[in-house]
Homo-oligomer: A and B are copies of this chain.
Amino acid sequence: MGYGYAIGEFSSIIGISVYTLRYYEKENLIIPERKENGRRLYSDGDVSWIQFIKRLKDTGMPIKEIQKYARLRVKGDSTLEERMEMLIQHRAVLKDEIAAMQEHLANLDDKIIYYKTEIKKKHQCAG
């Protein structure tokens, strides 16, 4: 048993379908090594990298943007500043989104309270 994971194993470790993994590769997000026979060989580094990609996705970063980040990452240390800038930007967006969601939540709460009083009124059936 050598090091690294075949695509199926990698897929079940990280919870992303093999279809999607191949799609991500086509989009240059994650490019694993290949064995002599042409089969993909994912490393432990790939595990953490794809988990970071997941995080970016889950926070609403579009694939085009993640692509840009991935391109910089491949270039190495000379792009550290630029990548940090991207994350700082993204962080700001995320903060705003959280604030907006919290406002939405408060609003939803109000609406639910309103529903409660309306339902109470309805069940009283006598003015």
- Using a CB–CB distance below 8 Å, which chain A residues touch chain B? 52, 55, 58-59, 77, 80-81, 83-84, 87-88, 90-91, 94-95, 97-98, 100-102, 104-105, 107-109, 111-112, 115-116, 118-119, 122
Contacts and interface: CB of A to CB of B under 8 A. Distances in A.
Contacts of A80: 115, 118-119, 122
Say what secondary structure dominates the interface of chain A.
helix
B108 A94 contact: yes
22 contacts: A55-B104, A55-B107, A55-B108, A58-B104, A59-B101, A59-B104, A59-B108, A80-B115, A80-B118, A83-B115, A84-B112, A84-B119, A87-B108, A87-B111, A91-B105, A91-B109, A91-B112, A94-B101, A94-B104, A94-B105, A97-B101, A101-B101
Contact of A105 (B95, B108, B116, B119): B95
User: Considering the complex of A and B, which 10 residue pairs feature the smallest CB-CB distances, nearest first?
Assistant: A84-B115, A59-B104, A98-B101, A91-B108, A80-B119, A87-B112, A94-B105, A55-B104, A80-B118, A87-B111
